[in-house]
Structure 1
Amino acid sequence: MDPSYKARKEAFVSNLAGSNIADINAVSFVASASVLLWSALQSRLSFFTPYSPAALLTDFILNVLAILFATTAYSSAPVLLNIFLITPAVLLYLTQPPQRSQYKAKPPRKAAANDDRSQDQAESLPVHPFLTTYRAAMMVVTCVAILAVDFRVFPRRFAKVENWGTSLMDLGVGSFVFSAGVVSARAVLKSRASRSKKTPFVGRLIKSVRHSIPLLLLGLIRLWSVKGLDYAEHVTEYGVHWNFFFTLGFLPPFVEIFDSLTALIPSYEALAVIISIIYQVALESTDLKSYILVSPRGPDLLSKNREGVFSFLGYLAIFLAGRGVGTRIIPRGTSASKNPQQARKSVLVSLTIQVMFWSTIFFFNSSYAFGYGANILVSRRLANMPYVLWVAAFNSAQILLFCLAETLFFPSVHRATGKEGEEERNAFATSRILHAFNRGGLAIFLVANLLTGAVNLSIPTLDVNTPQAMAILVAYAGILTGLALVMDKFNFKLRL
């Protein structure tokens, strides 16, 4: 890469101040509004069944392009875009009856002595379309942003901040980790429900290390490619050598270590808060904060990669917070004394409590809060306590919104008490594109990174005008969507 252009690229993503949280929420809400309109079209008109070319195009426009345009062409008017999406959804809901008869709730069957234990476990941990939608929407936002940020059409206020502040991309990194924590709760719940003897801690730790190896290898490959191709990089993001794949790779063994502490502290949320407090106290009462932010980069590896190493504590707390949410909302929740409607109400109440809990302590942690707050600025670079709380509050709220949309438009999903007909109900209530993005998440993320590198090495993105940039981004989004659908059709998944 030409040295002068490389310097321009690095300056383009450096020393940014971000945006305010209200602005970020308005842009992020487009994903929820799009799903709301998709749900209205499907539940009232069965628009996406069968999945015709028109249905595919509409699905792509709503669940991929709407997010792309919210962060680019409509970035100055996200509220207007939300109104465009919500208004027809409300009209459809009020004027059109559901097009598919709702499944009637059946009483939970009594467990027989010879019941298959694995079947019971499967029935108690169903697949939730609202979680599929949440994870996929987060993946779409992430994939769109990692390339769009290199073009001038993507506002600088959405790019990662230098030291202090909030931005859309800062939120995206934490959301990626939080969502991983949410889905990791399924394995924890299965282990708790199993009658077999629990694997010893050492065995679980070794298994988690094996799980980490592929991610760490991806981190090494990214490091080699960035240095070998002289690719523009923002060193203060993670450090000289560290990258996001290393953060993901080191999470499993450390999560396993802290998981063993649930015998003493039976709450993942409490563990997340404790880690955040200890880390924040260290930042405020020692020289750690100044060491991370302003000290010279010494010859040792720690000094060169101090942002990645120390921010890992914040991401660990975010992962545990996500796992805490997952353990509360994944189980079906029905019993002899609780029908499906009551179980869904419990999920909504639990999510509401989560939103209120994380939002309240974030408010007191990040502001003066009428003279009672700590007024600590958010820092994604440090992954400090306000950042952890912000990510947890935002993602809990997003899950709540998707759960409300599913409850409102597809009540047959949560009224089910067993696996019978679950696949059909879930398919009807889930966007085909979002389902595909959720299934192929890691592979799509890898391809998105490769395509981003290829575009940046072949096109001077800083010098591209707005129509050209939008054409490239729409084509990029189309390629990723096509890849996701093909992978889903042929049942290809990249497992680590």
Structure 2
Amino acid sequence: MEETMSAANRSLHFRRLKEAFVTDLGGTTLLENVMVLSLLPLLVLNRGVFNLLWPQVHPSWFQFFCDLMFLVLPIQLSLTLFSGYLSAFLATVLLSTLPSLLCLLWPHVSSYDSSLKNQLSSAFSATLSSNLSSQRLPCVTAFRSCTLLLTAICILAVDFRMFPRRFAKTEVHGTGLMDLGTGCFVLANALTAPEAREMRTSMAAHWFLKKQVVSTSVLVGLGMGRLVATEITGYHGHVTEYGIHWNFFFTLAVIRIFAALLRLTGVRRCWCLALIVATAYELALLCFGLKSFILHGRAATGDRTDFISANREGLASTWGYMALYLGGVELGRWLRCAHRGSLTLTDWLWRLLGLLFANAVFWSLLSICQVLVDPVSRRLANLAFQLWTLAQGSLLLSLFLLVDVTLAGLRTLLRHFHVSSGRHRKPANTDQGVCGAGEPTANRSEHFGTCLLDAINRNALLFFLLANLGTGLTNLVLDTLSTSSGHASIVLSVYILGLCLSMHLLQSCLVKSVEPGSSHQ
């Protein structure tokens, strides 16, 4: 009996240590968050240039290995071992792109004769007028996949001492890197939502509602499963994040119901509704005592005696996430509205300028809101948090679009060089291999040439669920607080390798199931 009680006390003590390890944190600066996230487009650019340097079709396992080396490993290192040298790490990745571009272009430029200037002018003109229309946006795929990959690494790494505390979630106000995780997840879902693609349902209302109930039930089931699992295992949790019973899966379920109502009612001006919801919620926080209730409970005692007070953070912040979702839907519509006609590279450059202008507006509004209204708070999901997520998300999306345009332009430029020199060489593409096989060329994320990003994008919810399961299992079998940096790096590498490998194998199975067999040729 005494041994049982002693083991229970040790377990409780260990749980409290882990909870204290992620409590009362203040975050980092806006600039450092921008630096970390700016690394993602640079890594994707390097991966794309590598594909152009070696355009031969490689086996799927080689593509997967390259994705790990070019994308996954640098992200993990920047968040852990090299987090104290972030500026130098970012500069190194940026400078490593220049030799690759030189190796790519110099053989073609150096082989031209005295009419080099006219030939280059012709090549650039042809490149700028090339048609880049497609049914999918590679920049949105990269945004969605890279933010999920970053989140998956962070949710386990934060439990080890080697992970910088400034990147962890903040307690009340602040801008930690992990504070962006849930916001970017909602924003990424909004960018690819049926409302953003302006897909109208053709089925009867009751059948549509039935379909939405089924899909929402999956999210509710995941939320209930997480709740039961944490209660049974005694897994540590940060109560002030969502509350005692609430979790992010329930928030996603509410947003799914909200999105279904949007489609049924045929709301077109999502930005107007976003402003109404965000303004009303901010007024409730600051003018009607909702903020005080969330932070301190009823009568400022911090009590959690009923369901509402026990889950006040999760219930209240859902309104902020719904406003953010509406803003993301409007942003997605703006990005896709031009797909009704053909777009050239020049058109996409103008699109990029428009996105950068919107980004500047978001940053300006955030600065004003931080000073005059209320600082950023993920716990409250207040107006400043929504603006910060939109500002950071639109900046990241702009950088991915710039990478997309750059790689597409390089591909077209190389094609023109080959034709002009009389070497009708087939340009690099992804016509074979796992990534996008079985689909029309226009539907593939071929500008980036990264199979892993496409696999994560297609199975986003499953990837997020497996990341949560892997994090939970690791914490149950390992004392993360006592683990050295070397052992923690190995554990984190095995964990993320398992996640990525599962996505790769799933994608391979899906591709093989749609590929026509050779016997049917």
What range is the shorter-chain TM-score in? 0.7 to 0.9
Q: Summarize deviations over 1:18-77 as a string: whole Å, max 9, x none.
A: 11111111112221221121122222343x842475553332022111111111111111
Residue pair 1:6, 1:232 contacting (<8 A) in 2 also: yes
TM-score by length of 1: 0.85
Q: 1:284 offset after TM fit, Å?
A: 0.8
In the TM superposition, what are the counterparts of 1:87-486 in structure 2 within 5 Å?
Answer: 87-97=95-105, 126-185=135-194, 188-191=197-200, 204-258=208-262, 263=267, 266-295=268-297, 296-331=302-337, 333=339, 335=341, 339-367=343-371, 374-411=372-409, 421-423=441-443, 426-427=445-446, 429-486=448-505
Task: Tell me if structure 2 keeps the 8 A contact 1:185–1:324.
Answer: no
Q: Could you tell me whether the CA contact under 8 Å between 1:440 and 1:492 is conserved in 2?
A: no
Does 2:95 correspond to 1:65?
no
Residue number in structure 1 paired with 2:427: none
- 2-structure distance, mates of 1:83, 1:106: 32
**Structure 2 CA distance for aligned equivalents of residues 486 and 13 of structure 1:** 34
Is the Cα contact below 8 Å between 1:328 and 1:347 reproduced in 2?
no
The change in CA–CA distance for 1:98 and 1:133 in structure 2 (over 3 A counts) is farther
The 8 Å contact of residues 179 and 378 in structure 2, kept in 1 or not, is answered as: yes
Q: Is the 8 A contact 1:174 1:391 kept in 2?
A: yes
- CA apart distance, 1:422: 2.2
For the residue of structure 1 that corresponds to 2:328, the secondary structure is: helix
Question: What is the match of residue 435 of structure 2?
Answer: none
8 Å contact from structure 2 (residues 285, 291) kept in 1: yes
CA RMSD of aligned residues (A): 3.0
Bigger Cα displacement from structure 2, 298-307 vs 433-442: 433-442
Query: Which residue of 36, 56, 71 corresponds with 2:64?
Result: 56
For the structure 1 residues 125 and 321, does the alpha-carbon distance in structure 2 shift closer, same or farther, using more than 3 Å as the test?
Answer: farther
1:413 touches 1:426 (CA, 8 Å); kept in 2? Answer: no
TM-superposed CA distance for 1:189, in Å, is: 2.0
Distance 1:206 1:274 in 2: 29
Distance change in 2, residues 1:107/1:361 (3 Å): closer
Deviation, structure 1 residue 254: 1.4
CA distance in 1, matches of 2:400, 2:262: 29
Contact 1:186–1:330 (CA<8 Å) still a contact in 2? no
SS across alignment from 1:382:
coil
Distance change in 2, residues 1:250/1:60 (3 Å): same
Using the TM superposition, give the Cα deviation of residue 318 of structure 1 relative to its aligned residue in structure 2, in angstroms: 1.2
CA shift, 1:377, in A, is: 0.8
The answer (yes or no) to whether the contact 1:341–1:414 under 8 Å persists in 2 is no
C-alpha displacement at 1:208, in angstroms?
A: 2.9
Q: Which amino acid aligns with 1:75?
A: S
Q: 1:339 to 1:280 in 2, by over 3 A?
A: closer
The answer on whether the counterparts of 2:374 and 2:384 sit within 8 Å (CA) in structure 1 is yes
The CA deviation at 1:200 is: 6.4
Measured in 2, the distance between the counterparts of 1:182 and 1:414 equals: 28
> Percent sequence identity over matched residues?
29
CA drift at 1:99: 9.9
> In 1, distance between residues paired with 2:412 and 2:223?
40
Alignment partner of 1:97: what SS?
helix
Deviation at 1:430, TM superposition (A): 2.5
Structure 1 pair 414/202, CA: closer, same or farther in 2 (3 Å)?
farther
Unaligned runs of 5+ residues in structure 2 are 1-7, 109-122, 414-438, 513-521
Given residue 327 of structure 2, which amino acid in structure 1 is its aligned partner? Answer: A
Give the C-alpha shift of residue 442 in structure 1.
1.4
1:34 is aligned, of 32, 39, 43, to 43
- The answer to which of 33-42 and 343-352 deviates more is 343-352
- Secondary structure at the residue paired with 2:402? helix
Q: Secondary structure at the match of 2:256?
A: helix
Q: How many angstroms apart in 1 are the aligned matches of 2:283 and 2:331?
A: 25
- CA apart distance, 1:272: 1.9
For the residues of structure 1 that align with 2:209 and 2:133, how far apart are their CA atoms? 27
**Stretch moving more, 150-159 or 252-261:** 252-261
Q: 1:344 to 1:93 in 2, by over 3 A?
A: same
Counterpart-to-counterpart distance in 1, 2:257 and 2:134? 25
Moved more, 396-405 or 358-367: 358-367
SS of match in other structure, 1:299 = coil
* Alpha-carbon separation, structure 1, partners of 2:25 and 2:184: 20
Bigger mean CA offset, 55-64 vs 383-392? 55-64
* Worse-matched range after superposition: 134-143 or 89-98: 89-98
Equivalenced residue count is 460
Alignment match, 1:111: none
Paired residue secondary structure (2:84): coil
Question: Contact between 1:42 and 1:49, CA under 8 Å: does it hold in 2?
Answer: no
- Counterpart of 1:250 in structure 2: which amino acid? V
Show CA shifts across 1:164-202 (max 9, x none). Answer: 1111110111101100000004664232xxxxx855666
- What is the deviation of 1:93? 2.0
2:28 aligned counterpart, secondary structure: coil
Question: Distance in 2 between the 1:188 and 1:422 partners?
Answer: 17
Q: Distance in 2 between matches of 1:451 and 1:72?
A: 18
The 8 Å contact of residues 271 and 327 in structure 2, kept in 1 or not, is answered as: yes
Provide the residue aligned with 2:436 in structure 1. none
Q: Do the aligned partners of 1:70 and 1:78 also contact (CA within 8 Å) in 2?
A: yes
CA distance in 2, matches of 1:146, 1:224: 20
**Offset of residue 205 of structure 1:** 4.6
Distance in 1 (CA, whole Å) between partners of 2:333 and 2:286 is 32
Which of 74, 84, 89 is the aligned partner of 2:82?
74
Corresponding residue number in structure 2 for 1:6:
15
